[in-house]
């Protein structure tokens, strides 16, 4: 056994816009929050000195209602939580020259390291400007000013909360660029202590590590330098100094890269993409790959443990999980699905590049395939309230579920509970992003460890694990083109080909081989994609002081 890095000595504060620790917690949008939640639990399991800083989103990411005609409507509500502990601590930040008070809550009851959530929805903020109560209302909601205000709360408020809570910190880990202003606060503190800007920046860098998640260039948030100054995010730094850190316009990812001593991408392929994407950005570290992992106790049926489960046991437990899923689906949607039919799961945020409708883009092909093999596909997803194209994608899926009630099901308001049921109870986990846009895709890991076979393009984590036809399948052969229409049609054809020639025949005609593949799926992913491996890599390659890699 390799020595584990010492996890008590390095004190880490992890900054993230979203956390998903438990199903009732609506303070997340997708994979970023799930990763943060899983990380906090695994940090606790391994007794790491890690705490989380985030925001108490009163209305979360928003949800969706579907009317009788199949139209999707936004639905926001104010969530009330009974798991919040009042720390008694309040800090202030300046937003547009107004002092805003942030109350600090603590969450530590889900088997997680403490997560501190900042909240501006308190009476103190009525006096200043009523609107500021709503800074922590909608996750990723609103226009530029609102976003910057939220990021001031997370970054600047977050560092101030640490000080006031008396939590000493060696490493500040920014999970995505949203926390970049925490770097400004660390610089400001040092400049207040007498250092000049360059020295303060240099020392601050030694304290920060950064994880990037976004291989889609437009997905990397930017703001005009003026907007930062206008909102007061600059904390006294000049326009030139801001530009030195984040460029102009100010790019939050570039800032993350320039503020840190070490940076990682979330899979090997993503590291290649990310280094290429930022190759013109000087004065940044090389972006190393540290592939995400999952918190097994949260997602995996532990009866499938790779050391105890034989083929027969795996199949028996899988069928039980499938039965539970189908009855859950019946309760939620009224669709009655069959236990004997091959069941495909697809659940993600509804965004274009994930192509949830890839299978159905040629409706004749789809219909023929589905009838031939009695295919059942269960979709779940959520579109951002401001994303109309995402909502149209959902409406298309809903229409299909009405047209083919035996074959297509849509479960609205994707959340942790739906995810848990699906990744345990489906037979196949479909993943069809347009390469190389999926940074990692941890839902596939959850499925794989539950013996649910991945059918995926070679994107995100899958190239690291896929042994085609042994522990799952790939389709598309890594084909890329700048023309989205061409890739989509290529991948669609390959998907149908692989499903028709390999997946369905194995399921119906060679059950022994199918079960053997389930075993391989479990065995090849069980340890490799356990989040403990990821944490060890964080300590070895990012947290623990090492030679400079800039």
Contact residues for ligand PLP, defined by CB under 6 A: 30-31, 34, 348, 414-416, 419, 441-444, 446
Question: Going edge to edge, which strands form the sheet with 472-474?
Answer: 408-412, 376-382, 343-349, 428-431, 453-456, 472-474
Distance from C-alpha of 338 to C-alpha of 319, rounded to nearest angstrom: 11
Distance from C-alpha of 389 to C-alpha of 383, rounded to nearest angstrom: 8
Nearest CB to ligand PLP, comparing residues 205 and 446? 446
Nearest CB to ligand PLP, comparing residues 133 and 382? 382
Nearest CB to ligand PLP, comparing residues 496 and 531? 531
- Minimal distance in Å, beta carbon 333 to ligand PLP? 17
Which contiguous run of DSSP H or E holds residue 419?
helix 416-425
Residue 527 is encoded by which pair of tokens?
């340890």
Q: φ, ψ for residue 500 (rounded to 5)?
A: -70, -35
List Cβ neighbours of 247 (8 Å cut-off, separation of 6 or more).
254, 281
- Minimal distance in Å, beta carbon 237 to ligand PLP? 35
Nearest CB to ligand PLP, comparing residues 343 and 442? 442
Nearest CB to ligand PLP, comparing residues 7 and 348? 348
3-class DSSP state of 530:
strand
- Minimal distance in Å, beta carbon 29 to ligand PLP? 8
Residue 282 is encoded by which pair of tokens?
């000087």
Nearest CB to ligand PLP, comparing residues 75 and 244? 75
On whether the CB atoms of residues 297 and 533 are closer than 8 A, the answer is no
Nearest CB to ligand PLP, comparing residues 412 and 446? 446
Distance from C-alpha of 192 to C-alpha of 508, rounded to nearest angstrom: 70
Nearest alpha carbon to residue 41 among 92, 108, 134: 108
- Minimal distance in Å, beta carbon 436 to ligand PLP? 14
List Cβ neighbours of 302 (8 Å cut-off, separation of 6 or more).
296
How many helices (H) and strands (E) are present in the chain, helices listed first? 21, 19
Nearest CB to ligand PLP, comparing residues 39 and 134? 39
- Minimal distance in Å, beta carbon 375 to ligand PLP? 21
Q: Kindly give the interhelix angle for 239-246 and 197-205, rounded to the nearest 10 degrees.
A: 30
- Minimal distance in Å, beta carbon 443 to ligand PLP? 3
3-class DSSP string for 49-64: CEEEEEECCCCCCCEE
Nearest CB to ligand PLP, comparing residues 137 and 380? 380
Query: Residue 466 pairs with which residues in a beta bridge?
Result: none
- Minimal distance in Å, beta carbon 295 to ligand PLP? 10
Residue 484 is encoded by which pair of tokens?
């989205």
Residue 322 is encoded by which pair of tokens?
């499938």
């Amino acid at each position: 056994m390799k020595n584990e890095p010492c996890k008590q000595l390095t004190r880490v504060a992890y900054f993230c816009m979203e956390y998903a620790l438990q199903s009732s917690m609506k303070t997340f949008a997708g994979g970023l929050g799930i990763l943060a939640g899983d990380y906090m639990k695994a940090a606790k399991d391994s007794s790491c000195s890690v705490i989380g800083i985030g925001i108490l989103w009163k209305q979360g990411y928003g949800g969706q209602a579907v009317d009788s005609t199949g139209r999707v409507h936004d639905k926001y509500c104010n969530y009330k939580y009974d798991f919040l502990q009042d720390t008694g601590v309040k800090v202030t930040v300046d937003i547009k020259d107004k002092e805003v008070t942030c109350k600090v809550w603590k969450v530590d009851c889900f088997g997680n390291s403490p997560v501190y959530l900042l909240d501006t929805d308190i009476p103190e903020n009525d006096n200043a400007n009523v609107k500021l109560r709503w800074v922590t209302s909608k996750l990723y909601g609103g226009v530029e000013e609102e976003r910057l205000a939220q990021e001031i709360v997370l970054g600047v408020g977050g560092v101030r909360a640490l000080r006031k809570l008396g939590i000493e910190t060696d490493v500040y880990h920014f999970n995505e660029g949203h926390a970049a202003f925490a770097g400004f606060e660390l610089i400001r503190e040092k400049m207040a202590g007498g250092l000049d800007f360059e020295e303060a920046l240099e020392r601050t860098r030694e304290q920060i590590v950064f994880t990037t998640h976004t291989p889609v260039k437009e997905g990397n948030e930017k703001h005009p330098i003026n907007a930062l100054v206008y909102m007061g995010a600059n904390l006294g730094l000049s326009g030139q100094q801001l530009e030195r850190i984040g460029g102009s316009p100010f790019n939050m990812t570039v800032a993350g890269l320039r503020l840190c001593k070490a940076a990682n991408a979330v899979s090997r392929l993503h590291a290649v993409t990310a280094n290429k994407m930022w190759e013109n950005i000087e004065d940044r570290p090389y972006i190393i790959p540290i592939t995400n992992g999952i918190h097994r106790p949260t997602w995996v049926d532990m009866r499938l443990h790779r050391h105890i489960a034989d083929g027969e046991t795996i199949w028996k437990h899988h069928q039980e999980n499938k039965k539970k899923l189908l009855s859950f689906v019946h309760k939620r949607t009224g669709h009655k699905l069959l236990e004997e039919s091959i069941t495909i799961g697809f659940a993600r945020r509804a965004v274009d590049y994930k192509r949830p409708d890839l299978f159905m883009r040629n409706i004749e092909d789809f219909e023929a395939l589905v009838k031939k093999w009695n295919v059942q596909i269960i979709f779940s997803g959520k579109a951002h309230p401001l994303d109309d194209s995402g909502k149209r994608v959902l409406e298309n899926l809903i229409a299909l579920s009405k047209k083919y009630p035996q074959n297509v099901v849509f479960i609205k308001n994707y959340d942790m509970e739906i995810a848990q049921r699906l990744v345990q109870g489906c037979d196949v986990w479909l993943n069809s992003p347009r390469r190389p846009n999926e940074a990692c895709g941890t839902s596939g890991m959850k499925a794989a460890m539950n013996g649910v076979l991945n059918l995926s393009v070679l994107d995100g984590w899958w190239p690291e694990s896929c042994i085609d036809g042994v522990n799952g399948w790939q389709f598309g052969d890594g084909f890329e083109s700048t023309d989205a229409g061409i890739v989509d049609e290529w991948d669609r054809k390959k998907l149908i080909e692989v499903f028709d020639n390999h997946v369905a025949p194995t399921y119906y005609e060679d059950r022994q081989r199918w079960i053997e593949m389930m075993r391989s799926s479990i065995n090849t992913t069980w340890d490799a994609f356990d989040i403990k491996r990821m944490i060890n890599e964080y300590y070895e390659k990012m947290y623990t002081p090492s030679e400079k890699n800039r």
